[in-house]
């Protein structure tokens, strides 16, 4: 999978967002050390001396005062603190987000360490335990998280996959996702790419077609080229699709303000069936078709009230596995597995 290097050039969005200059940071640090040491003019008896006593460890004290942020030393440039509010109490949270704030430790178990979410992240992030369950099912070498948001799934994938390619169209959300990944200690396994999945997939498909045509033109009769036309080289083992569902209003039986997972009514009774046509930015069927051009192994994260016949139609004649994602007695979502991700079909991976 050495061709992952082709993707790395677009992952430097963080430098553009934060506009970091390492030399500037170094010079500022040196200046602060000079101020901390101070100077003393022996010819001026009225000048207050700022020199430390000889028995003081001058190397240790500045380090104790240095502020490195919530991510720790060496990761300061990825610290996204300040891009969005970090809430510590419900009274700080806007009213329309308060019901999600009660779930913060379920979204990110390390929330209190400084995990960050934008407004969309509060109502769209996959709960950590659910994300971990999906990541176990998607264990592979390279996985593409097509709509990574603030990083809930990407962080989980980084624990079970060798490499994670995480896409999003928002530089702010990508910055938050990287920030959160650093807190979980997995940022080095994730490549954050500022890109739209539809355009990204279209470009890759075109490149594969051109490469296949070029090989066939050079030597059209070889078995290798015939196979290349039938089965283009895969860049990703698995694609995870968790597209926007259309906002919190996709259900009419909306969750209670506390969203208590012990509530007895965990069904979708009273909610209209969810249609794939409500998926953003394109029809859910079209989105799935685009992903299948790149790999047969797709995990599709959908609302819990999605019409099952529409899900079955995606797989056509093949077996589709639908997994219900529960938190306590609360049904949260459905994860639909295709290709080699289906139990018993691992040979198709």
pLDDT digits (tens, 9 = 90+) for 63-79: 444 456 899 998 999 99
Distance (Å, rounded) from C-alpha 182 to C-alpha 192? 12
What angle, 0 to 180 degrees and rounded to 10, lies between the N-to-C axes of helices 223-230 and 197-218?
160
Of 56-60, 250-254, 257-261, 294-298, which gets the smallest average pLDDT? 257-261
Q: What is the pLDDT of residues 315-332, one digit of tens each?
A: 888 999 999 999 889 999
Q: How many residues does the chain have?
A: 349
Mean pLDDT of 148-175: 98
Q: How far apart are CA 304 and CA 70, in angstroms?
A: 35
More confident residue, 11 or 233: 233
| Residue 266 φ then ψ, to 5° | -105, 10
User: Would you say the C-alpha torsion 160, 164, 169, 172 has a positive or negative sign?
Assistant: positive
Radius of gyration of the chain measured on its C-alpha atoms: 25
| Degrees to nearest 5, angle at CA 178 with 239 and 62 | 160
The pTM of the full predicted model, rounded to 2 decimals, is 0.74
Strands 298-303 and 330-337 turn out to be antiparallel
**Going edge to edge, which strands form the sheet with 190-194?**
190-194, 163-168, 142-145, 238-241, 298-303, 330-337, 321-327
Report in angstroms the alpha-carbon separations of 1 from 39, 162, 209, 233, 309.
57, 11, 18, 10, 36
Tens-place pLDDT, residues 143-156? 999 999 999 999 99
pLDDT of residue 68: 64
pLDDT digits (tens, 9 = 90+) for 35-48: 333 444 444 444 44
Residue 174 in this model has a pLDDT that exceeds 60: yes
Report the chain's mean pLDDT, rounded to a whole number. 79
DSSP helix/strand/coil, 336? strand
Domain 94-216+232-248+272-348 has CATH 3.40.50.150: yes
The string of pLDDT tens digits covering residues 215-272 is 666 666 554 444 344 445 689 999 999 999 987 766 544 343 333 333 334 455 556 8
C-alpha dihedral sign at 245, 200, 208, 178: negative
For the chain, the domains span: 94-216+232-248+272-348
Strand partners, 337: 299, 321
């Amino acid at each position: 999978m050495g061709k992952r290097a082709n993707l790395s050039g677009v992952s430097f969005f963080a430098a553009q967002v934060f506009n970091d200059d390492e030399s500037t940071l170094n010079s500022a640090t040196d200046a602060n050390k000079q101020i901390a040491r101070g100077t003393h003019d022996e010819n001026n008896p009225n000048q207050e001396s700022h020199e430390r006593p000889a028995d003081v460890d001058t190397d240790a004290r500045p380090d104790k005062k240095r502020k490195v942020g919530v991510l720790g030393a060496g990761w300061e440039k990825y610290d996204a603190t300040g891009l969005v509010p970090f809430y510590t109490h419900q009274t700080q949270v806007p009213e329309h987000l308060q019901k999600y704030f009660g779930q913060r430790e379920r979204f990110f178990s390390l929330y209190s360490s400084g995990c960050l979410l934008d407004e969309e992240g509060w109502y769209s992030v996959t709960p950590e335990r659910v994300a971990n369950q999906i990541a176990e099912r998607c264990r592979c070498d390279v996985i593409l998280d097509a709509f990574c948001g603030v990083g809930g799934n990407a962080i989980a994938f980084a624990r079970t996959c060798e490499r994670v390619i995480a896409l999003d169209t928002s530089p702010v959300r990508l910055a938050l996702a990287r920030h959160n990944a650093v807190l979980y200690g997995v940022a080095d396994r994730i490549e954050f790419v500022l890109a739209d999945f539809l355009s990204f997939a279209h470009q890759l498909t075109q490149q594969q077609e051109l490469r296949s045509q070029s090989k066939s033109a050079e030597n059209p009769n070889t078995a290798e080229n015939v196979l290349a036309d039938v089965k283009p080289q895969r860049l990703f083992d698995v694609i995870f699709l968790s597209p926007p569902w259309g906002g919190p209003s996709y259900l009419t039986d909306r969750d209670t303000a506390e969203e208590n997972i012990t509530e007895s009514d965990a069904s979708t009774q009273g909610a209209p069936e969810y249609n794939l046509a409500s998926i953003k930015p394109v029809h859910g069927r079209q989105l799935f078709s685009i992903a299948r051009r790149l790999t047969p192994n797709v995990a599709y994260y959908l609302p819990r009230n999605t019409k099952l016949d529409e899900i079955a139609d995606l797989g056509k004649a093949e077996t589709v596995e639908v997994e219900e994602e529960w938190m306590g007695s609360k049904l949260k979502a459905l994860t639909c597995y295709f290709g080699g991700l289906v139990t018993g079909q691992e040979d198709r991976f």
